[in-house]
Every structure is written in structure tokens, then in C-alpha cells.
Amino acid sequence: MEPNWAAEHLQVIRTLMERSAVYRRALAPMMLLTGLVGLAAASLGWGLGIDSPRSFIRYWLGISLVPLIGCFLLVRWQALRDGEAFWSPPTRRVAQAVLPAAVAALVVNLGILVQLGPGGASAASHFAHKTVLGWLPTGWVILYGCAIHAAGFFMPRGIKLFGWVFVVGGCALFLLGLPDSPGPLFAHGVMGFFFGGLHLAYGIYLYFTEKRKQAA
Amino acid sequence: MNPEPFLQLDRVIHEKGRLPIVSLLAASPELAFTEIRDTLSMTDGNLSMHLRTLQEAGYVALTKSFQNRKPLTTCALTAAGRAAFANYINLLEEIVRQAKKV
């Protein structure tokens, strides 16, 4: 009796169970793309002087579509390349996990945009500035962390920790105290640090660790 | 090498077509018939045949419903199926351990 067959069977079982339960597609490229877009958008937003509450929300809502579409195309490309279904069970689970926080963020943004009105006195008030340029980016960071952490139950282990970094980082900003008059540097800085820098760093880490795993 | 663990392997699970099905189901609460078929690149007939065998052994439960007016068959491991799969894994690990000793 060939003894290796049992080990090979166990390996096949492990692979199939992972395929069934864990999302593994294009994580490093997605993180790198999101990080680069985040850093570039933060620099551009600051450079262009996007500092009114309305323009800040609209700018970042628009920017968020870039990594969203980019990640969709990356995942679709990888699924086609590997001959797998795009809307696989793990992809569906991750989407379902992310959805509540994403919907909450979108509704809050649209609600604030409606509240601010078309750019009158309410949009220029100190309260509007503090809410949008101080609290809103911090809230986005926390909601995003919750979404990532929820998705982490169906992804490799490190993702949950990554989600916690956002949640803890966002909460720390609240606890340490937001500036009384947050300017565009603070608002775009928070966005650039969390959505740019952290994604880029994690993407680089994933790129090298995944490469090492493939080589092993 | 002691052939005992090999002889104890559950023949319903220890089959080229059925082991991948059980492995997929073990990692999910339930899966649609089409998801299993697409993941394993099996034909409808082949998958149906294996699922029937697993169902007759009491390892898999099939649920038929409708989604958007289309029939939907979902498959899930029963408690007996999970226990049998766990036992199968234990026996495989035992065989691997014995092979390492030799």
C-alpha cells in the first residue's frame, strides 16, 4: 500500500475546504491598488484645496468608485484566468459581510449631503466643517474597519486584524480628540493615512508573503 | 504497517467523486447544487448520482425550493455526515502517522 496517498488525500480535502469557505482572490493587487489610489487622492484633494463639506464628501464618494471598479475588474480577471466562477460562494459571503457597513456609510453620506443643502449658510457653518472634515472621515474609517473585520471571517486570518487596526485607529482619533477646526490637511490626511498608507503597507506585505507561499 | 485504519475507511466517502463533494460541504453550512457542480466541474448526472448515494447513507440532506421562480436544490451535510467525515479525516491522519513511523 502506497503511504503517500493518505497525505495527498488530506491535502486535497484541505484545498477543497478552503475553496469552499475562504476567499483568496487577488488580495495583494487589490490592497496595492486601493493604497495607491488612497494616497494619490489624498494628496490631490489637499493640493486642490477641497475643503468645503459638500465638495469633500462628493470628492471622496467619487474617488471610492475607482478602487471599487478596479477591484471588481481584478477579481473578474483572476476568476477568468483560473477558470473559476466570478460570483463564487466565498465572493458572495464576503460581499454579504461587507454590505451592511457599506450601505450605512453611503446612507450617512447622502443624508449629510442633503442636510447641508446646495451650499448655503448651513454648509459653511463651523458645525458643518467639524462634522464633515473631522467626524466623517473618522466614521468612515471605523465603518470600513467593521466591514473588513466582518469579511475577515471568510478570508485569510490577517484580514480580521487589519479590520481591527481601522476600528482601533478610528476610535483612537475620537478619544484623543479631533481638532476644533479640522482643515483639509487633517481630513485628507486621515483618508490618506488609513485608506492609502495602511492599504499600501498591507498590500506590500501580502505581495511578498503570497509570493513566498507560492514558491514553497 | 497496520492495515486496520485503511480497512476502517468509510467506503461511501472514500470514493474519487464523493470525497470532494463531502469536503466542500464540510466547510459550508449549505451549498447549491450548481455551486458544487461548477466548483468541481462535474456533470449534472454525475453529481446527482453521487449525491443520491450520500443521501441514502444519511450523510447529505437535500432541500428543494424556488428562487426567482427557478428551482433551487441546496445540499448540506447531516450530523451523521459530519461525524463520518471527521472520522474519515482521523483515520487518514492515523495512516499518515503510521507511514511516518515506518
ipTM of the complex: 0.81
Domains of chain B listed by start with CATH number: 4-92 (1.10.10.10)
Closest CA to B97 of B24, B18, B5: B5
Q: What is the pLDDT of residues A74-109, one digit of tens each?
A: 988 887 776 666 787 788 889 999 999 999 999 998
Residue A123, pLDDT score: 56
* Shortest CA distance from B38: residue in chain A: A85
pLDDT at residue A69 above 90?
yes
**Which of A10, A20, A85 is opposite residue B93, by nearest beta carbon?**
A10
pLDDT at residue A118 above 80?
no
* Average pLDDT for chain B: 89
pLDDT at residue A48 above 80?
yes
| CB-count burial class (<10 Å; 0-12, 13-18, 19+) for A158 | middle
Greater model confidence, A7 or A129: A7
CB A170 within 8 A of CB A139: yes
Does the beta-carbon distance from A17 to B31 stay under 8 Å?
no
Residue A158, pLDDT score: 87
pLDDT at residue B4 above 90?
no
Q: What is the pLDDT of residues A132-167, one digit of tens each?
A: 888 899 999 999 999 999 999 888 778 999 999 999
Strands (E) located in chain A: none
B35 touches chain A (CB under 8 A): yes
Does the beta-carbon distance from B95 to A6 stay under 8 Å?
yes
Does the beta-carbon distance from A20 to B89 stay under 8 Å?
no
Greater model confidence, B101 or B93: B93
A19 touches chain B (CB under 8 A): yes
Cα–Cα distance list, A77 to A25, A202, B8, B16, B24 (Å)? 10, 22, 44, 31, 24
Greater model confidence, A21 or A159: A159
CB A24 within 8 A of CB A156: yes
A94 to chain B, closest Cα gap in Å = 14
pLDDT at residue B100 above 90?
no
Q: For residues A110 and A113, give the distance between their C-alpha atoms in angstroms, rounded to a whole number.
A: 5
Closest CA to B57 of B13, B5, B2: B13
Q: What is the DSSP string of B44-77?
A: HHHHHHHHHHHHHTTSEEEEEEEETTEEEEEEEE
pTM for the whole structure: 0.70
| CB-count burial class (<10 Å; 0-12, 13-18, 19+) for A69 | exposed
Chain B residues touching residue A18 (CB < 8 angstroms): 27
Does the beta-carbon distance from B27 to A20 stay under 8 Å?
yes
Lateral strand order in the sheet of B31-32:
B31-32, B70-77, B60-67
